[in-house]
Amino acid sequence: MDVTIERVNDFDGYNWLPLLAKSSQEGFQLVERMLRNRREESFQEDGEAMFVALSTTNQVLACGGYMKQSGQARTGRIRHVYVLPEARSHGIGTALLEKIMSEAFLTYDRLVLYSEQADPFYQGLGFQLVSGEKITHTLDKTAFADSNR
């Protein structure tokens, strides 16, 4: 499946409805929360970005981003990662996360995230399972660099 991954500069420039509908059907509120909070969490500040994976017809197939982890200057947090069910298992989520991680590690030494359902996916990308308050996975910059040699 051919996709383009691009940075979101204007949330209103995309049709989020399919992602919103499917994520809600699956019981995930992250896309709805992202869209509701997009004025406060614009992902336009230094050290943060939101990306979408687009089909050749510009349909949003996936989204995800990163921002500073509250209270930890050198730690970034992966946020709002969602891939449409019909787009899963085609490498789209992996390509999206690789883009997010590559860019986030230009600013941060460590990335964290919270996910109850996608443990095998994140571990496959090098994240380690941890237990913490609203943190389930972590990845250090050195481990990421070593895995990309």
Annotated binding site for CoA: 83, 89, 91, 93-94
Q: Which residue has the tokens 């230009």?
A: 106
Q: Which residue has the tokens 């050290």?
A: 47
User: What six digits make up the tokens of 16?
Assistant: 């989020």
User: What six digits make up the tokens of 144?
Assistant: 């990421």
The annotated binding site is made up of 83, 89, 91, 93-94
The answer to whether the beta carbons of residues 119 and 128 sit under 8 Å apart is no
Return phi, psi of residue 29, to 5°.
-100, 5
User: What six digits make up the tokens of 59?
Assistant: 């349909």
Distance CA 81, CA 57 (A): 21
Question: Reduced to 3 states, what is the DSSP secondary structure of residue 75?
Answer: strand
